[in-house]
Amino acid sequence: MIIAFLGDVVGKSGRRAVALAVPRIRAEHRAALVIANAENSAGGFGINTESILEMKEAGVDFFTTGNHIWDKREGIALLDTRADVVRPGNYPAPGPGRGAAVVPGTGGRVAVLNIQGRVFMPPLDCPFRTIDRLLDELPDGVTVRIVDCHAEATSEKIAMGYYLDGRVSMVLGTHTHVATRDARILPGGTAAVTDVGMTGSFDSILGVRKDEVIERFLAMRPTRFEVAKRDLRCDFVVADVDDATGAVQEFSHHQIKLED
């Protein structure tokens, strides 16, 4: 089974990039399943019905999120109504949504799990102990297990990869919007990358207009952030997974330049 995972989709520009990239990814890489981190897909912060449906129409099958999932009220409601969206599972209970789900249409073979780091981020429940619990709660027969580790610190994401090596198919770092060049298969057969990167405008600072971010650094005051529009690209990884064992046979990182 060939699975593609898209780095953080940022705003309308990111959704435009998804619409252009996903058909190419399916055709060129023969991807049977496409997953995307959607936490910034609605105006740069959070999700809403429009952003999810637009990416579904483009061919994305499933969505992970992160700390910005709480930024739009409508997006919070979607966590309980959509079977194709998960949020970090280590937010304290009780709360809307879930941290793991079996992907619809995969015959119970593929599960996606979402976890959030704690280094330089809010002090949530332990991501390592939480991922153990989420794995224990999966139904029998789920052989392909994909983990979105949404975290700031590279060390925490790398540690999660080694912690889960041999127990999951992939540990994919998200959150920083900057792709790392360390995509690899660990000794136990788990594919890992510290950060997949971003889908959206690269004429930007992390998908946001450059002038607005620079102004915040200079003035040290809040400024309005607007999603940038130019130089659309898509960072993504592709894995060839043995769906009988869950081990990854091939794993690679890619970037497509889509529009100037």
pLDDT digits (tens, 9 = 90+) for 149-195: 999 999 999 999 999 999 999 999 999 999 999 999 999 999 999 99
- 217-239: average pLDDT: 95
Mean residue pLDDT across the chain: 97
Q: pLDDT for 68-95, tens place per residue?
A: 999 999 999 999 999 999 999 999 989 9
Residues catalogued as catalytic: 68
For residue 29, the SS3 value is helix
What is the percent of the chain with per-residue pLDDT over 70, rounded to a whole number?
Answer: 100
Q: Tokens 């089974």, residue?
A: 1
Phi, psi of 219 (to 5 degrees): -90, -20
- Cis preceding-peptide flag for 127 (omega within 30 of 0): no
